Amino acid sequence: MQYNINGLYVDLVKGVVIDGVECATIRSKTLQVLVKLIANRERIVTKQELLEDIWHDVIVQEQVLAQSIKELRDLFGSDTIKTFPRNGYQWIADLEVSSVKNKNNQDKKKMIWVSAICVVSLLVLTLVNTLSSKRLSIAFLPVDNAMQDTEHNWVSVQGLEYLSQRLSQSSELDVIDSGHILYALERLDVNQRQRFDGANVYPLRAKLEADLLVKTRLTGFPEDYQLHYFIYSEHNAERGVVNARTVNRGFELLVELIAKRFDSYQPSNFQLNKNVFSNEAFARGVELYLQNQFEQASALFASALQSNHELLAARRYLAASYANTARQSEAITLLEENIVLASKQQNRELIRAHLLIGYLKINWPTSDNRTNELREASEHIAQAKKLAEQQQDKLFIAYSYEELGKIKRLQGRYTQAIRLLTLALAYHREFNSSYGQTAALIELAKVASEQFDVDESEHYLEEALLIAQKSHAQANLVWVYLAKADIARSQLNKVKALRYANKAKEVAQQSDSQLLISRVEAWFNHASVYSVN
């Protein structure tokens, strides 16, 4: 079937759009979306229906559908498809049937010439691409979204587009178009699409004829993201981690890294230098760390530091690994080294080091003099807050107020604790993401509970629970339920405590996060649920 849409000739069988003497092909899945919307233009077609009908053979995020809608609007105009939020889409543009059989001879000849020009243009483009293939080609996979919420679902396809466009603008590398990558993914069999790592990344690299294939994974927290990257070439793989306050900043840093690393690259010169080896060991260590394999992670962080003594993030993770295996003194020594090294730059690692030392002293008492230990913790966190204020780093200002408030609670200074925790809450509310408020609300609930204000305590916990549920932040759901269990346990209500602890256990198991599961197990074993994250 052929149509005229806003002056464009569209062949829904061949998937071709012709405007005068210019032509374009529609990506396979996008063409199926177009056919579905046109065939059902009298009604709203739900997102679920589109996903089930068109992507029935593979598990995908909703963002792939949004990408196809964007492509159609780019082709035919923004007024062709109407979005019904949280529901679906409807085709609203006028359609004029344009059957070639019904045209006069002149129109037929024109269409034949246009089609011929279209074919020739595609052949010429293919030839040009072949002749210019001496440039190193690179392709990005859709970003693997490992954030435990629904607020970052957009990063998968939009992240792929952003990385591809920015690297194309920032380097002489031959960056393969995101649409071509998505089309290639559709052509892979289901098993190949399920997971890209190690050997099974190469079928796609071969299909794309890419010299380099980049896989990325987004983890961390709002204002404190980690973008893990894996760069596959013909015979080698390189990996590392980029830290950033925003997702787009993480993408920018990765683009800069790749441009500098490969812009003058020759395939025969792919050698791992000292920094590349250090990044590789660090990235592997982080993966093990997130799986609670702290001993194995420690060996890799130590190896990364041997290659690059000034890799402060590796030393911080090594300190955290030590802390999580009851080696607090060694952890603090490493963090004190970071303070000395980071003092030259006054960067976030300096703030982190002071904050983490304070955190360790608060949550893992190692001294008989608890009063003195809390005083030392307060000094470190106060220094972290001062540095954060100098750098206008609101995230770490909020963290500092949280920990200072906790110290005041432990000291029984409830009025001061409430003031500090309320300030932390105010800073968290300035961020786009809401679930950073949970920790402060939990602490406020504990203050209220210790003051025997049951209603106020429950109010704070319900607010925290609502935020966690709304953002689908599984980690925060676990913390809220464990806080409810803790408070019930302190009130000697064992039945209520077990009910909340079992809810936390259920969420942790559904998340398949070893870190969350181990913290819930710690609660049942009457051990500390705290760990360094």
pLDDT given at position 120: 46
Q: pLDDT grade, residue 98 (50/70/90)? A: low
Residue 256: exposed, middle, or buried by beta-carbon count in 10 A (0-12, 13-18, 19+)?
middle
- pLDDT at residue 123, as a whole number: 46
| Cβ atoms of 310 and 338 closer than 8 Å | no
What 3-state DSSP class applies to 147?
A: coil
Read off the pLDDT band of 303 (50, 70, 90): confident
Handedness of CA 510, 514, 516, 522 (dihedral sign): positive
pLDDT score at 261: 81
Are residues 138 and 258 in contact, defined by beta-carbon separation less than 8 angstroms? yes
Looking at the whole model, is its pTM more than 0.85?
A: no
Distance (Å, whole) CA 363 – CA 407: 10
The sheet with strand 88-91 has its strands ordered as 45-46, 88-91, 81-84
Pick 173 or 401 by higher pLDDT.
401
Q: Which two tokens stand for residue 506?
A: 């259920």
User: Alpha-carbon distance 240 to 307, whole Å?
Assistant: 14
Q: Which amino acid is at 436?
A: G
Helix (H, G, I), strand (E, B) or coil at 345: coil
- Of the CA atoms within 13 Å of residue 325, those in its CB half-sphere come to 15
- Worst-scoring range by mean pLDDT, 28-32, 60-64, 495-499? 60-64
pLDDT of residue 366: 79
* Alpha-carbon torsion angle 81, 83, 89, 95, nearest 10: -20
Residue 271 has pLDDT above 50, yes or no: no
Amino acid at 145: N
Q: Is the pLDDT of residue 109 over 50?
A: no
> What would the mean pLDDT of 87-99 be, rounded to a whole number?
82
Greatest mean pLDDT range, 123-127, 151-155, 336-340: 336-340
Does 33 have pLDDT greater than 80?
Answer: yes
Instruction: Report the alpha-carbon distance of residue 462 to residue 456 in Å, rounded.
Output: 10
Q: Which domains, ranges and CATH numbers included, belong to the chain?
A: 2-129 (1.10.10.10), 136-271 (3.40.50.10070), 452-533 (no CATH)
Token reading at 295: 């001993």
Least reliable range by pLDDT among 127-131, 254-258, 260-264, 325-329: 127-131
Asked whether the predicted pLDDT for residue 192 surpasses 60, the reply is no
SS3 105: helix
Tens digit of each residue's pLDDT (9 = 90 or more) over 48-57:
888 888 876 5
Q: 17 forms bridges with which residues in the sheet?
A: 10, 24
Q: What is residue 129's predicted lDDT score, i.e. its pLDDT?
A: 46
CA distance 374 to 416: 15
Residue 191: pLDDT band (50, 70, 90) is very low
Amino acid 71: pLDDT: 84
Mean pLDDT for 342-361 is 88
Angle (CA) 318 322 327, round 5°: 150
Residue 117 has pLDDT above 50, yes or no: no
Per the model's pLDDT, the better-predicted residue between 20 and 157 turns out to be 157
The beta strands (E) that lie in 161-201 are given as: 174-175
Residue 274: pLDDT over 80: no
Give the CA distances from residue 268 to residues 203, 233, 258, in Å, rounded to whole numbers and listed in that order: 21, 11, 17
Which stretch of DSSP H or E encloses residue 52? helix 47-54
* Cβ atoms of 353 and 345 closer than 8 Å: no
Q: Which residues contact 391 (CB under 8 A, 6 or more apart)?
A: 346, 348, 351
- By CB atoms closer than 10 A (0-12, 13-18, 19+), residue 80 is buried
Percent of residues in the chain assigned helix, strand, coil, to nearest 5: 60, 10, 25
291 Cβ partners below 8 Å, 6+ apart? 514
| Mean of pLDDT values over 212-234 | 86
Cα-flanking dihedrals φ and ψ of residue 121, to 5°?
-60, -40
Q: What is the mean pLDDT of the chain?
A: 81
Range 379-392 average pLDDT: 93
- Distance CA(214)–CA(242), nearest Å, equals 14
Ramachandran bin of 5, using left for φ above 0, alpha for ψ from -120 to 50, beta for the remaining angles: beta
Residue 388 CA to residue 399 CA, distance in Å, equals: 10
Look at residue 392 and give its three-state secondary structure.
Answer: coil
Of 275 and 143, the one with more pLDDT: 143
Per-residue pLDDT of 460-519, as tens digits, reads: 999 999 998 887 888 889 999 999 999 999 989 999 999 999 999 999 888 877 778 888
Name the band, by pLDDT with cuts 50, 70 and 90, for residue 381: very high
**Tens digits of per-residue pLDDT, 337-346?**
999 998 877 6
| Mean per-residue pLDDT, 264-286 | 60
More reliable by pLDDT, 9 or 338: 338
Terminal-to-terminal C-alpha distance of the chain? 57
CA 96 to centroid of chain Cα atoms: 43
pLDDT at 20: 62
Residues 6 or more apart whose Cβ sits within 8 Å of residue 14: none
148 versus 155: which is more confidently predicted? Answer: 155
Rounded to an integer, the average pLDDT of 121-143 is 61
Query: Distance from CA of residue 106 to its chain's centroid?
Result: 55
pLDDT band at 22 (very low <50, low <70, confident <90, very high): low
Q: Residue 188 pLDDT more than 80?
A: no
Query: Cα–Cα distances in Å, from 253 out to 175, 243, 258?
Result: 17, 9, 9
Residue 414's pLDDT band, with cuts at 50, 70 and 90, is very high
Buried b vs exposed e over 296-316: b needs ≥16 C-beta within 10 Å? Answer: ebbebbebbbebbeebbbbbb
Confidence of residue 453 (pLDDT cuts 50, 70, 90): very high
Helix pair angle (312-323, 294-307), 10° resolution: 150
Average pLDDT over residues 178-191: 66
The alpha carbon torsion through 354, 358, 359, 362 (nearest 10 deg) reads: 180
How far are the Cα atoms of 491, 504, 528 from residue 522, in angstroms, in the given order? 19, 12, 6
**In this predicted model, which residue has the larger pLDDT, 533 or 27?**
27
Q: Are 477 and 468 in contact (CB under 8 A)?
A: yes
What percentage of the chain carries pLDDT values higher than 90? Answer: 31
270 in Cβ contact with 251 (< 8 Å): no
